[in-house]
Structure 1
Amino acid sequence: MDKKANKKYFLNILLVLTLGAIVIYLTMKDELQASLKALMSASPIWIIFSFVLMGVYFLLDGMNLYTFGHLYKKDYNYKQGFTNAISGTFFNGITPFSSGGQFAQVYIFNRQGITPANSASILLMAFIVYQSVLVLFTAVIMIFRYQVYSAVYSGFFHWQ
């Protein structure tokens, strides 16, 4: 890489970190001290575990987008799917009502050689997979922890 490209990457990283710091400050300015106190008193093991789980989420989301992207473009690779996944998460995080992630992902898919119509199809398939996994996890939890849920949500589980 040449110096111009390195400078571009450095400026982009600096921009993302600066915007991230501003967003964190604006969203937490009233409870910043309490949040920092809670973070400092948290167990380092659980913080590391949280980061590992978040990494696993990004890897699986990238695999999901790669799998569906590969259906429309045979030379679509995992790195492209992973890039699209983390970009979608980023844009969901910085836009009001988490509304910008899918638009950014369609744009990124378009830049990666997948048409917007096919991109929308990929994102819908990924959403269906996500919702299916949520329903499956909930069903498993409700089956194996039925006693707890029936006690807490007695009106919901009332059979007649």
Structure 2
Amino acid sequence: METKKNKGLFSKILIIFIILGLLLSIILSISDFELVIEKLKETNVFWMLLSAVISILSVVVLSISNQVALRSLDKNITYFDGFLVQTTEPFFSGITPFGSGAQPFQIYEMVKKGARSDVASAVSLVNFIVFQTVTVIILIISLIIYWNELWAGMGYNIFYILAGIFFNTIILVLLLLLGYAKGFGKFVTKILLFFQKYRWSKKWATRGLEKADIFIENFQTGVKVLMPKKRILIASTLLKIVSFILKYGSIIFVLIALGHSLTPSEYLYLTAASFIAINAMMWVPLPGASGGTEFALGMMLNAIPLFYGGVKNPILIIVLLLWRFITYYLQLIIGFIAYLLLKRKNKKNDELINSEEN
């Protein structure tokens, strides 16, 4: 079973790097390849490293924000174990379409570490509700403030951003219904019963029916306990906002590393565009929304004179490539390291238990 899981995991990682190779070949074939390489050689290493450190810090702060909620409900899990579980998030979100892989893995690991299933479900999904709430609010505010700039850069392609905000909002509404609506469990059951009638969906619908009632009951029970803890929610929310600022602001230092500067208002727009590109394009059904994310940011940056010319502008291409590495691939690596450390600790614990039993 473990071997099969590992094969599935590494096949997903392989797909990610195949997608990366295809994107690189397409992007670099459009732009002046030699000029891009020349510009990359001039990159200031200090500012690039600072950008990378800031991105890593954003993962740490996000993990701490999730850990705050976990420790408020369950202290059986050690700080380090809880931190590792939370730090795997960018890895499992990054290798699965729609960023859907983190929560199931985290719930599984928390239960394995001794947390009650209702607590694990509540912590993971309440953290996701807080994350999604902050995301939707920032997306809407950014859309209102920067509508003219977004329209100037994207034109009618802004529909993709609007679609992304709509899907994010729908996800948030469904999560709130899942947490608070008493009759929502029956509604989910009816949907699963409908899909159980068809051969192509019968298998996963049947699996869903077996788990849905218990999962929803556990989640709603946990939500009732966690949501009234206002200090915990405020602390978790503020830490997530700090994490967002660090992650999406890292693109500023990428630009500085390339020897370019913008006005303060352009820097703010650059940060907002980075946030919008990653979060509004998650509906693209590829790991990390690859392709859609780069397309969206490239279009949005057309509103800044430095990036005029689109994909034929080498500065834009370099910024896109470095930004994508800093905010996606680097965080993916950090999450993968956390997963390996967690797996190693689990193996040692299992060996210890087996030796005590013998």
User: Which bin holds the TM-score, normalised by the shorter protein?
Assistant: 0.5 to 0.7
The CA deviation string for residues 61-116 of structure 1, in whole angstroms up to 9 with x for no partner, is 22122211112222434322321122232122223443321111111111221122
2:65 is the counterpart of 1:64:
yes
What SS does the aligned partner of 1:76 have? coil
Which residue is equivalent to 2:173?
none
**Distance (Å, rounded) in 2 between the aligned partners of 1:93 and 1:149:** 28
Let me know the Cα RMSD of the aligned residues.
3.6
Alignment of 1:14-25 (within 5 A): 22-25=14-17
For residues 136 and 90 of structure 1, do their structure 2 counterparts lie closer, same or farther at Cα, with a shift above 3 Å needed? same
The CA deviation string for residues 120-157 of structure 1, in whole angstroms up to 9 with x for no partner, is 110122123223433554577679xx4x546766xxxx
User: Which among 13, 27, 31 is matched to residue 19 of structure 2?
Assistant: 27
- Deviation (angstroms), 1:24: 4.1
**Distance (Å, rounded) in 1 between the aligned partners of 2:50 and 2:118:** 38
Which residue is equivalent to 1:3?
none
Q: Which has the larger radius of gyration?
A: 2
For residues 58 and 81 of structure 1, do their structure 2 counterparts lie closer, same or farther at Cα, with a shift above 3 Å needed? farther
Q: AA paired with 2:14?
A: I
**Distance (Å, rounded) in 2 between the aligned partners of 1:90 and 1:152:** 30
Q: Is the 8 A contact 1:66 1:80 kept in 2?
A: no
**Distance (Å, rounded) in 2 between the aligned partners of 1:96 and 1:134:** 18
For residues 27 and 122 of structure 1, do their structure 2 counterparts lie closer, same or farther at Cα, with a shift above 3 Å needed? same
Which residue is equivalent to 1:73?
74
**Distance (Å, rounded) in 1 between the aligned partners of 2:104 and 2:75:** 23
TM value normalised by structure 1: 0.61
For residues 24 and 46 of structure 1, do their structure 2 counterparts lie closer, same or farther at Cα, with a shift above 3 Å needed? farther
Which residue is equivalent to 1:158?
none
**Distance (Å, rounded) in 1 between the aligned partners of 2:102 and 2:143:** 31
2:126 is the counterpart of 1:125:
yes
Q: Whose RCO is larger (CA < 8 A, sep 6+)?
A: 2
Q: Is the 8 A contact 1:110 1:119 kept in 2?
A: yes
Task: From the two aligned structures, give the one with the greater helix fraction.
Answer: 2
**Distance (Å, rounded) in 2 between the aligned partners of 1:71 and 1:81:** 12
The CA deviation string for residues 32-69 of structure 1, in whole angstroms up to 9 with x for no partner, is 35399868718334532332232122212221222111
Identity %: 23
Alignment of 1:4-153 (within 5 A): 22-33=14-25, 34=28, 41=40, 43=43, 44-135=45-136, 137=138, 146=145, 148-149=146-147
For residues 94 and 132 of structure 1, do their structure 2 counterparts lie closer, same or farther at Cα, with a shift above 3 Å needed? closer
Q: Which runs of 4+ in 1 moved over 4 A?
A: 18-21, 35-40, 135-143, 150-153
For residues 54 and 20 of structure 1, do their structure 2 counterparts lie closer, same or farther at Cα, with a shift above 3 Å needed? farther
Query: What are structure 2's unaligned runs of at least 5 residues?
Result: 1-6, 152-358
**Distance (Å, rounded) in 1 between the aligned partners of 2:123 and 2:147:** 35
What SS does the aligned partner of 1:79 have? helix
Query: What are structure 1's unaligned runs of at least 5 residues?
Result: 1-14, 154-160
What SS does the aligned partner of 1:30 have? helix
